[in-house]
Structure 1
Amino acid sequence: MGIDVLVAGAGIGGLTAALSLHAAGIPVRVVDTVEELRPHGVGITLLPHAVRELSNLGLAGELAATAVPTDEIVHYDRHGNRIWGEPRGRAAGHHWPQYSVHRGALQLILLEAVRDRLGEHAVRTGTAFVRFAEMEGSLLRVILRDVGRGREYGVGVRALVGADGLYSGVRARLHPGEGPPLWNGIRMWRGVTDWHPVLGGRAVAVAGSNASVKLVVYPVSREAESRGRAVLNWVAEVRFPVDHHGAAGSGPADWNRSGRLSDVLPHYAGWRIGDLDVPALLASTRRILEYPMVDRDPLPWWGRGPVTLLGDAAHPMYPVGSNGGSQAVLDAAALAHCLVRAGADRVAGLRAYEAARRGVANAVVLANRDMPADRVLRAVAERAPEGFERVGDVLTPAELGELGVAYRRTSG
């Protein structure tokens, strides 16, 4: 009989796709290479339109109990002088909040919902996608591998969705010879730290400039907030020459690669943003992760026949503008909608999904490479390297206005 829709990858995009397809009455199964899905990673932002889709899937209560609603985003120079800020989420008039949440906590919320609604065996871990082969009647033959036993076997599916991330095996089969991800010269260190509330408690704070050194900090735990504490997610970005090699060079793009405090801390010596002592925050982090800022060039097409891509497998992008996870959620909602509208014709549904999402997502990939907000922050660093007293002495009203326009274009 075969599987109706097989999703390769049990990340945020793959699990949301499973919930969306199930809600639409479409049978679905998920496979993932790892033996056990654990709450890895650091913080992630969910924009209001992604929160809307997850709320429509009945997850509003779980999100509200776990994530922190973001009230505002604020930019500072590296000396802690406020440049610009604006409300976010409900504070900005949206019907849904903007949330900051630990990526692993979000993945577990989605996983528990999938297993509760679709059954314990809806997600098969320790199972790697290998390749897809020719059609057998109305079914595509997909070869999977039992990771523990090393045994390959085939299954018949009506549709295959590659939601298997930056190094997608499904994408590699569809677009062979693409090469490694593209590095822009920025090395990122990331961590989460149990701390005291800072900067008003619910702000996303951005300091410095990605032309040299930049920092992003925001709280991700509602539980910590309820006891008067904060779990702060921080991202430190340092630019190097693109041909730089060594500890801070491009290296492998592995979200779980450990980093060293001694590599990142010197870049933030003396930094203080309001009531946030940046060196102390970094030094108190138990585990630091290191990652190059990479993406891939937008694809002219995502899939063919009964195969398509979703999330980072389709459109990996720089983690700016809070878009990566949110775009994957939107992909999942659109996939379910298009398959339902196409009826029994899975191929037509996949092409409709790609038509609805590919242009939008590709535009975000390109926008994230050259955010007007980053150009404005770079101008502040160049014009006032020692800081300023009045932002109006550094930026014109038009330049300040660019910051709000830039965010509304990519994440509004």
Structure 2
Amino acid sequence: MKAIIIGGGIGGLTAALCLHKIGLEVTVFESVKEVKPLGVGINLLPHSVRVLTYLGLQPIIAENAIETTDLAYFNKFGQAFWSEPRGRFAGYKWPQFSIHRGTLQRILFEEALRVLGSEAIKTNHHLVSFEQNEQEVIAHFADKETGQSIGRETGDFLIGADGINSVVRQQLYPNEGPPVYSSNVLYRGTTRMKPFLNGTTMVMVGHMGQKMVAYPIHPQRDAEGNMLINWVANLRENDKVKLEVRDWNRAADQQRLVKIYKNWMFDWLDVPAMIAGANAVYEFPMSDRNPLERWTFGRITLLGDAAHPMYPIGSNGASQAILDADYLAECLTDTQNVMEALQVYNNERVPATAKVVLQNRAKGPDEIMDRMEERFPAGFSPDQIPHTELEEVMNHYKKIAGFDIQTLNQKS
């Protein structure tokens, strides 16, 4: 049985590795000529690390990532109101990792080359169209720069893992239109600086109108003890209607951002200095797409951002793509009925991911930030923190996203 995978990102490469592990023939097609490490930091939650561990990748990820010990929330004055252990420190069987997105993609790409062989990873192959019949699916490719046809490929089924602007999704849903812009813009950067708190903490500061997320993404320290810190500033920018397409590489006005955060100087973190210390800052419109009722059409299905692009809230984007790959492989194990297996995958993952997309639109676990801001805009005293209420919000999100500890730890 042969799988054609469109897209060589985190979801596509994980799917390739999972399907190869159950004995399927796999070929991955990527539009770009050279796979480069784009993006900045991401988090891998325990349910996705479970899958990567099954693929034998936990040791090399651990060498290139931070094992996150805890997640802490602070208001705009730097006052802590919520903290919880994460990963193995919370009792999960698997760790939570913070890692550079490009580093993770490189690890997956090199592993795919090793186990699948270079002939199974085809770059500079942009999908133009596809069709299917009772026996197979046929995909047609071109050079993206020139538009010149470079042939076709046949297989038993095709997976669209080609991102938020998926060609596969567009052919399945030609009238869908562009991504849905949230009126929020993310400003992303990485800064070499002294670690904060215990050096392995992920922090969320402020509220959804003006937020800062920061965490280290590589264990190596330089001679001065500096670590590579990933940070993401989230600002409500209603006037930036031009930002309708997600682009990792659009440069932002760094000094404007420093001024906006100029008062966020806490005894444990100097936010304006962190922003000013980045080599570059990129703006990224926070957008998603409406959940689909269906991903699978015969021998065609979707996976990852092509299926369920979501707001980067709750550290779930990459993790959900990895879960897609794992469950798809489970459905295809020990069966020759491809279309039936793809439908089972569809029936499970479509509603599961739709809940996460919609919960992220509703602020996900970061709902607790706005609740604290609305009630205590001038700050609070420790006895005012509604711990039980905040715990309910956090636990509810874990269940929706599939990493509540009781359910996950029952898996092998």
* TM superposition score normalised by structure 2: 0.93
Say whether residues 1:352 and 2:350 are aligned partners: no
Which runs of structure 1 show a deviation greater than 4 angstroms over 4 or more consecutive aligned residues? Answer: none
Matched residue, 2:410: none
Matched residue, 1:151: 148
Partners of 1:397 and 1:105 lie apart in 2 by 37
Partners of 2:382 and 2:31 lie apart in 1 by 50
Matched residue, 1:215: 212
Matched residue, 2:226: 229
Deviation at 1:225, TM superposition (A): 8.3
Deviation at 1:399, TM superposition (A): 2.5
- Count of equivalent residues: 401
Partners of 2:222 and 2:277 lie apart in 1 by 19
Say whether residues 1:380 and 2:372 are aligned partners: yes
Deviation at 1:403, TM superposition (A): 4.1
C-alpha deviations, 1:340-384, integer Å up to 9, x for none?
A: 24x222111211111221111111111111136433321322332
Partners of 1:13 and 1:31 lie apart in 2 by 13
Amino acid at match of 2:136: L
Matched residue, 2:299: 306
Say whether residues 1:66 and 2:56 are aligned partners: no
Name the stretch that deviates more: 365-374 or 6-15: 365-374
Deviation at 1:165, TM superposition (A): 0.3
Q: Is residue 188–residue 238 contact of structure 1 (8 Å, CA) maintained in 2?
A: yes
Q: Is residue 162–residue 308 contact of structure 1 (8 Å, CA) maintained in 2?
A: yes
Deviation at 1:294, TM superposition (A): 0.6
Partners of 2:162 and 2:344 lie apart in 1 by 21
3-state SS of paired residue (1:318):
coil
Name the stretch that deviates more: 397-406 or 296-305: 397-406
Partners of 2:387 and 2:44 lie apart in 1 by 29
Partners of 2:349 and 2:138 lie apart in 1 by 26
Q: Is residue 314–residue 366 contact of structure 2 (8 Å, CA) maintained in 1?
A: no
C-alpha deviations, 1:202-243, integer Å up to 9, x for none?
A: 111000000x200000010023389843111100001133xx
Partners of 1:268 and 1:175 lie apart in 2 by 41
Partners of 2:109 and 2:60 lie apart in 1 by 12
Closer/same/farther in 2, CA of residues 218 and 172 from structure 1, 3 Å limit: same
Deviation at 1:405, TM superposition (A): 2.0
Matched residue, 2:318: 325
Partners of 1:230 and 1:384 lie apart in 2 by 33
In structure 2, stretches of 5+ residues that fail to align are 405-412
Partners of 2:101 and 2:197 lie apart in 1 by 22
Matched residue, 1:142: 139
Amino acid at match of 1:224: R
Closer/same/farther in 2, CA of residues 225 and 21 from structure 1, 3 Å limit: farther
3-state SS of paired residue (1:272):
coil
Say whether residues 1:94 and 2:92 are aligned partners: yes
Q: Is residue 16–residue 329 contact of structure 1 (8 Å, CA) maintained in 2?
A: yes
Partners of 1:373 and 1:55 lie apart in 2 by 26
Amino acid at match of 2:398: R
Partners of 1:4 and 1:106 lie apart in 2 by 25
Matched residue, 1:189: 187
Identity of aligned residues (%): 40
Deviation at 1:408, TM superposition (A): 2.4
Matched residue, 1:261: 254
Say whether residues 1:35 and 2:28 are aligned partners: no
Closer/same/farther in 2, CA of residues 408 and 150 from structure 1, 3 Å limit: closer
* TM superposition score normalised by structure 1: 0.93
Q: Is residue 187–residue 292 contact of structure 1 (8 Å, CA) maintained in 2?
A: yes
Matched residue, 1:399: 389
Matched residue, 1:104: 102
Amino acid at match of 1:214: K
Partners of 1:364 and 1:207 lie apart in 2 by 22
C-alpha deviations, 1:119-170, integer Å up to 9, x for none?
A: 11221111101111242x6121211113365322222121100000000000
3-state SS of paired residue (1:315):
coil
Partners of 1:198 and 1:73 lie apart in 2 by 13
Say whether residues 1:49 and 2:41 are aligned partners: no
Deviation at 1:387, TM superposition (A): 2.2
Q: Is residue 288–residue 309 contact of structure 2 (8 Å, CA) maintained in 1?
A: yes
3-state SS of paired residue (2:177):
coil
Partners of 1:274 and 1:12 lie apart in 2 by 37
Partners of 1:327 and 1:71 lie apart in 2 by 21
C-alpha deviations, 1:65-120, integer Å up to 9, x for none?
A: 11100100000001100011000000000011000000000000000000011111
Matched residue, 2:409: none
Within a 5 Å distance, the mapping from 1:162-201 to structure 2 comes to 162-201=160-199
Superposition RMSD on alpha carbons, in Å?
Answer: 1.8
Deviation at 1:252, TM superposition (A): 2.5
Deviation at 1:290, TM superposition (A): 0.6
Name the stretch that deviates more: 189-198 or 270-279: 270-279
In structure 1, stretches of 5+ residues that fail to align are none
Q: Is residue 65–residue 223 contact of structure 1 (8 Å, CA) maintained in 2?
A: no
Matched residue, 1:294: 287
